[in-house]
């Protein structure tokens, strides 16, 4: 099993290209099930989750073609993939595939919308709380689907097609909003989705659906209105840049010091996080090429943050911020409101010398003058990269184990950091 070795103490200087957003790519790929025509996605990141979803979609009969390299093309540019679901070969998503990634459960919406039936295993994925599918099921029921749960599978039936309806989520849910959108676009009549997630990735999927012939309005707001259409066509769509990757590298620079341009990053996608990074003492500058992060000489200042749905501070950057705050000159507080059990990185950061106390969903971080390298273990995707951030500033050597978590969500992490001066390498086997 691969590990990552980091020798801390080096400042980061240079340019890091930001990849396409994983959290938009996965639902965009799943949307290919809604049409017989070809869906072309550009700026797709090279991630383990993308490869796994290709396998899952292949099980349903989707042909996936990855465009080859072209002469003179930017080596850091995302890939272009073509997805063609001309014929749905199977409407069952089996446990052995779905259990590896939660997002694969979303295939239930386009399958029942297009084929009138779907049988999908209950999902797996990161162990950061229960994250139940009850709101996704509720959304499908509001559109006329008959739901049955049997043997660990959710079976959705709509033999006469789905019909428009009113969906009001009791809490903001990205997965529920994706599911409702993909079900509603082919439903007869009008669907209103209230308390919809406003995350940029949801808007990116809605934009793509509109390119495919859907009629979605209210994009970027908490109220989406969908006028159902009889069929969708193919389209070409470029995945938006990954705001979580952007924030992660921004915090890495704030941690180590230095000067890095986050190429292709868009500040409006993570303004709340950029504001917090600025409060911590780094300088954040927007340029025509992206976002520049610098910290030269100034200490790290403590901050108090509560995670919240977009446009608030993202839960997917909570672990990274905690790593940054371990070296702050004072006491910081982070309150997690989105997922329970999302502080599993705390005990691993403590192995590096961090001083963190937990009280339910609130963490108190007392900054220390130095961290010391140690062997640590990644517990989930975002927690694993928080250990990398801490290790970059720690004295001596840190070995991060279970890096397959990192490969799920960060493209060429060692290469991107290494080009900016980090002493980081992957150890295979």
* 185 is known to lie in a ligand binding site: no
* 133 is known to lie in a ligand binding site: yes
d(CA 24, CA 36): 21
* 132 is known to lie in a ligand binding site: yes
* 288 is known to lie in a ligand binding site: no
* 22 is known to lie in a ligand binding site: yes
* 12 is known to lie in a ligand binding site: no
d(CA 129, CA 84): 34
* 131 is known to lie in a ligand binding site: yes
Determine contact, residues 37/233, Cβ cutoff 8 Å: yes
- Phi, psi of 286, deg, nearest 5: -90, 130
Residues annotated as catalytic (active site), given as ranges:
126
* 316 is known to lie in a ligand binding site: yes
* 157 is known to lie in a ligand binding site: no
* 159 is known to lie in a ligand binding site: no
Determine contact, residues 223/247, Cβ cutoff 8 Å: no
**Residues in the annotated binding site for UDP-N-acetyl-alpha-D-glucosamine:** 102, 131-135, 316, 338
Known binding-site positions for phosphoenolpyruvate: 22-23
Binding site: which residues? Answer: 22-23, 102, 131-135, 316, 338
């Amino acid at each position: 099993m691969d590990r990552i070795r980091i020798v801390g103490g080096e400042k980061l200087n240079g340019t890091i290209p930001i990849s396409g957003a994983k959290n938009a790519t996965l639902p965009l790929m799943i949307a290919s099930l809604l049409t017989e025509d070809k869906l072309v996605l550009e700026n797709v990141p090279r991630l383990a989750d993308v490869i796994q979803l290709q396998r899952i979609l292949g099980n349903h009969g989707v042909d996936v073609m990855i465009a080859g390299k072209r002469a003179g093309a930017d080596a850091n540019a995302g890939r272009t993939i073509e997805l063609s679901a001309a014929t749905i070969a199977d409407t069952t998503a089996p446990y052995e595939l779905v259990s590896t990634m939660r997002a694969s459960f979303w295939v239930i919406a386009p399958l029942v919308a297009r084929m009138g039936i779907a049988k999908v295993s209950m999902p797996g994925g990161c162990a950061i709380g229960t994250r139940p599918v009850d709101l996704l099921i509720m959304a499908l029921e509001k559109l006329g689907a008959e739901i049955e749960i049997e043997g660990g599978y959710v079976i959705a039936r709509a033999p006469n097609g789905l019909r428009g309806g009113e969906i009001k989520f009791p809490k903001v849910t990205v997965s529920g909003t994706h599911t409702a959108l993909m079900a509603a676009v082919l439903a007869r009549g009008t669907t209103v989705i209230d308390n919809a997630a406003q995350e940029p990735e949801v808007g990116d999927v809605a934009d793509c659906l509109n390119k495919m012939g859907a009629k979605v309005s209210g994009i970027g707001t908490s109220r989406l209105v969908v006028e159902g259409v009889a069929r969708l066509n193919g389209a070409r769509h470029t995945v938006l840049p990954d705001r979580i990757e952007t924030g992660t590298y921004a915090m890495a620079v704030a941690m180590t010091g230095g000067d890095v341009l986050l190429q292709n990053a868009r500040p409006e996608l993570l303004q709340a996080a950029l504001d917090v990074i600025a409060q911590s003492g780094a300088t954040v500058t927007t340029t025509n090429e992206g976002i520049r992060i610098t910290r030269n000489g100034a200490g790290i200042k403590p901050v108090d943050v509560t995670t919240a749905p977009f446009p608030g501070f993202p839960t997917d950057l909570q672990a990274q911020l905690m790593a940054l705050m371990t070296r702050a000159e004072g006491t910081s507080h982070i309150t997690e409101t989105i997922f329970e059990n999302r502080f599993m990185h705390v005990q691993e950061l403590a192995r590096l010398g961090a001083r963190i106390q937990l009280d339910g969903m609130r963490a108190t971080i007392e900054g220390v003058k130095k961290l010391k390298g140690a062997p640590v273990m990644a517990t989930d995707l975002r927690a694993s990269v928080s250990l990398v951030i801490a290790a970059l500033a720690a004295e001596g050597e840190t070995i991060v184990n279970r890096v397959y978590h990192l490969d799920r969500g960060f493209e060429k992490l060692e290469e991107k950091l290494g080009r900016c001066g980090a002493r980081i390498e992957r150890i295979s086997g």
